[in-house]
Chains A and B, each alone.
Chain A
Amino acid sequence: AQKVTQAQTEISVVEKEDVTLDCVYETRDTTYYLFWYKQPPSGELVFLIRRNSFDEQNEISGRYSWNFQKSTSSFNFTITASQVVDSAVYFCALSEGRNTGTASKLTFGTGTRLQVTL
């Protein structure tokens, strides 16, 4: 069974601080995908990144960066120089990567609520 753990329930930072959101996953699949989504107060999920299990390269996109470590089954997300607009709930998710001919369901972590204040 797949499982995603986000141990940090809530994080509060002051604007311009860096913040890292942790994600640890469990799966028996050798091929899988990891995702991060942002959910602002409006409720709509915003896709941030997808990473497949064979690609351990870290990725940077503007103020966002992701650190994928298969050895520790972690896929952590860092926001550099946080801003008030980053305030939201962030979800890490996992899906199987087998080509079964249909789209694969996502297993979500419990989410981390990030509050960025002035």
Chain B
Amino acid sequence: GAVVSQHPSRVICKSGTSVKIECRSLDFQATTMFWYRQFPKQSLMLMATSNEGSKATYEQGVEKDKFLINHASLTLSTLTVTSAHPEDSSFYICSAGRPGWEQYFGPGTRLTVT
């Protein structure tokens, strides 16, 4: 199956700093990438959808100025958490997809803000 990588797998940052998470589709071109957030013992909640070359579409309640998403190429999307705070600590998962139903998930990035 298709492979999606995420980097870093774990990151600890201080409150007020920004952190960037990369999502790469390694063996296919992803026209769409999705970013999900998962708090401990909770479900995955979609944060935003990004299509290559266009602005991301954010779900209601997600601050687009805080969670910057860039999908500059068909194999790379980045999520930047700006001015991170402890409440942003979470498990962030990306998925990459092609038209139709296919969506492949990355292994996730665990963010801890101290």
Binding site for B on A (CB under 8 A): 33, 37, 42-45, 47, 50, 52, 91, 95, 97, 99-111, 113
Contact = CB atoms under 8 A, between A and B. Distances in A.
Contact of B101 (A33, A42, A44): A33
Nearest to A110: B43
Interface of B: 1, 30-32, 34, 41-46, 49, 51, 91, 93, 95, 97-103, 105, 107-108, 110
Contacts of B31: 102-103
Query: Main SS of the interface on chain B?
Result: strand
Contact of B51 (A102, A104, A109): A102
22 contacts: A43-B91, A43-B108, A45-B105, A50-B101, A91-B44, A99-B99, A99-B100, A100-B99, A103-B30, A103-B31, A103-B98, A103-B103, A104-B97, A104-B101, A104-B103, A106-B44, A106-B95, A108-B45, A110-B43, A111-B42, A111-B43, A113-B41
Q: Which of A45, A95, A110 has the most CB of B within 10 A?
A: A45
A102 B32 contact: yes
B100 A106 contact: no
